[in-house]
Amino acid sequence: MKTPTISSLLFAFLVIFSCSSLVSSDGHDDFLQCMSLQSNNHTSISNIVYTPNNTSYSSILNFSIQNLRFTSETTPKPLVIVTPVHESQIQPVIYCAKENGMQIRVRSGGHDYEGLSYASEVPFVILDLFNLREISVDAENKTAWIQAGSTIGELYYRIAEKSQTLGFPAGVCPTVGAGGHFSGGGYGALLRKYGLAADNIIDARIVDVNGRILDRISMGEDLFWAIRGGGGASFGVILAWKIQLVDVPEKVTVFTIDKTLDQNATNIVHRWQYIAHKFDEDLFIRILIRRVNSSEDSKRTIQATFQSLFLGGVDRLLPLMQQSFPELGLQREDCTEMSWIESILYFAGFPIESRDVLLNRTQPNVRYFKAKSDYVQKPISKNGLQGIWKLFFEEEAEEAEMILSPYGGRMDEISESAIPFPHRAGNLYKIQHLVYWEEEEVEATQNYINWIRKLYSYMAPYVSRFPRAAYINYRDLDIGVNNNGNTSYAQASIWGIKYFKNNFNRLVQVKTKVDPANFFRNEQSIPPLNSWWNKNGK
């Protein structure tokens, strides 16, 4: 058989693309030509590259977007989306994006709260890893390799296929992607017992800015440290994680108890703040605060929902609760024993029999939303809580929510600098503030965003200070953004210290070493020290 020449392959490649889109010259032609030249298997490349005129472009772009705020006509769109089916297809994307002055936005699960994995004002390509989702569980050694494009639902499902007594301490929502979630920390109902997902990573594979595929040994401990909580997007393209699985009992117990204001919610929430971080570390009780219609007189009230996972049976839980939190009035009939994998479905709001939903990559209920985070180090007074309830009675708060997740346990034992995620001992709990809405109009959007900003201002005296700490996985561009293009250390430290405290400096050092020209960047990426702004003293 005659071996095709580069030029014949390039021609074939352009013909394939011209059928779908490549007739206009709006910035991606050179990128595509470069991809063609860089790739060994040209036909397969054509199946993984989407440009705006391609019929599948919009569905590929939108399928994993979680926040409708970033699906409007005016949201800046990628020139190209690449969906590699093999690791070797990533290096050409990095090379060709660099060559053509394009940024890369890496997307795994698409859950970024501010859309940073799929929207950008500058010319960019989305590298969407959803096809890279192999998971291999080694139950005997209690480890697993998980490709970055997998969701945590898929991970939980694959672990449960192999073992009823192994689990992993990652998030509650099954569609969250391992690429972004683990690299930003990642927590769920096992956090008091085992810490974060990032605390349980033992190896990783990453493509660096020079296209090299590195593992823990070849990347070195500094970079390996940085990608476990420092946000992956600043450092390269994470391909896969090796994780330490954790032991879970055959039976866990769950319960959900609602308390409205008439049912003493204020006092019980107030009390919870003093004790939830000190409970036995097998016990995790979070609180979800919402406004609801009270069942009796259809008047509006505040409802605090106490939702719990206990790593043990109900017979051990009941005396524990009686001793440490009698105010909640937990009864045996409130509790259900189940397997850990069933508790994952329970927390995610699915029937516990429907295990296969963990393999779905799309969320049934995607809405417009804006979120923020806070850390609480001293209990909020009852007066302070009542001020929050007042804000929840405002019009814009119809679909607002506050989620209070207790710390303590394992979180207190891990040092602030073990990984970039610094929020450890001293924190009683974390708050996630959320407001959802249905209207797409700009004015409505602004009203809801103003409301959550007002709530955030109100919270200032009650939460951590110097810095007012925040969780990178609840990305919030209000707390500071980089300058467009390169950014100064000073500018980035405005948001960086809030997410990482003193670890920000080490992250900057790692960035300076591994990506000195700041190729991997976004509105909240770690800057290198020798960037243009720093060189020019600005």
Which residues lie near ligand FDA (CB under 6 A)? 66, 105-113, 116-117, 129, 148, 171-173, 176-177, 179-181, 183-188, 232-233, 237-238, 473
Give catalytic status of residue 474 as yes or no: yes
**Residue among 42, 61, 63, 49 at smallest CA distance from 21:** 49
DSSP letters along 23-74, please?
Answer: TS-SS-HHHHHHHHHH-S-HHHHHTTEE-TTSTTHHHHHHTT--BGGG-STT
Specify whether the CB–CB gap between 311 and 276 falls below 8 A. Answer: no
Specify whether the CB–CB gap between 420 and 471 falls below 8 A. Answer: no
**Shortest gap between Cβ of 338 and ligand FDA (angstroms)?**
19
**Shortest gap between Cβ of 186 and ligand FDA (angstroms)?**
5
Residue 307 pairs in a beta bridge with 256, 286
Nearer to ligand FDA by Cβ, of 314 and 507: the residue is 507
Nearer to ligand FDA by Cβ, of 28 and 430: the residue is 430
Separation of CA 506 from chain center: 22
**Shortest gap between Cβ of 367 and ligand FDA (angstroms)?**
10
Specify whether the CB–CB gap between 185 and 198 falls below 8 A. Answer: yes
Nearer to ligand FDA by Cβ, of 17 and 70: the residue is 70
Residue 401 pairs in a beta bridge with 434
Nearer to ligand FDA by Cβ, of 171 and 528: the residue is 171
Read off the amino acid at residue 288.
L
**Shortest gap between Cβ of 199 and ligand FDA (angstroms)?**
12
**Shortest gap between Cβ of 172 and ligand FDA (angstroms)?**
4
Read off the amino acid at residue 185.
G
Q: Which of 50, 113, 462, 474 is catalytic?
A: 474
Specify whether the CB–CB gap between 402 and 388 falls below 8 A. Answer: yes
**Shortest gap between Cβ of 487 and ligand FDA (angstroms)?**
15
**Shortest gap between Cβ of 173 and ligand FDA (angstroms)?**
3
Only one residue has tokens 């008439």, namely 262
Nearer to ligand FDA by Cβ, of 184 and 195: the residue is 184
**Residue among 186, 210, 208 at smallest CA distance from 199:** 186
Residue 206: CB atoms within 10 A of its CB come to 25
**Shortest gap between Cβ of 108 and ligand FDA (angstroms)?**
3
Nearer to ligand FDA by Cβ, of 42 and 105: the residue is 105
Whether the link from the prior residue into 467 is cis, omega within 30° of 0, is yes
Nearer to ligand FDA by Cβ, of 23 and 202: the residue is 202
Specify whether the CB–CB gap between 109 and 176 falls below 8 A. Answer: yes
| DSSP assigned state of 527 | P
CA dihedral over 203, 207, 213, 218, signed as positive or negative = negative
Helical packing angle, 382-392 and 442-459, nearest 10° = 170
| DSSP assigned state of 380 | P
Pairwise CA distance, residues 352 & 156, whole Å: 13
Question: Could you tell me the two tokens for 173?
Answer: 């929502």
**Shortest gap between Cβ of 308 and ligand FDA (angstroms)?**
15
How would you class 360 by CB atoms within 10 Å of its CB: exposed for 0-12, middle for 13-18, buried for 19 or more? middle
Specify whether the CB–CB gap between 223 and 235 falls below 8 A. Answer: yes
Pairwise CA distance, residues 487 & 476, whole Å: 18
Specify whether the CB–CB gap between 191 and 410 falls below 8 A. Answer: yes
Nearer to ligand FDA by Cβ, of 68 and 261: the residue is 68
Nearer to ligand FDA by Cβ, of 14 and 477: the residue is 477
Specify whether the CB–CB gap between 302 and 261 falls below 8 A. Answer: yes
Phi and psi at 34, nearest 5°, equal -60, -45
Active-site annotation, residues: 474
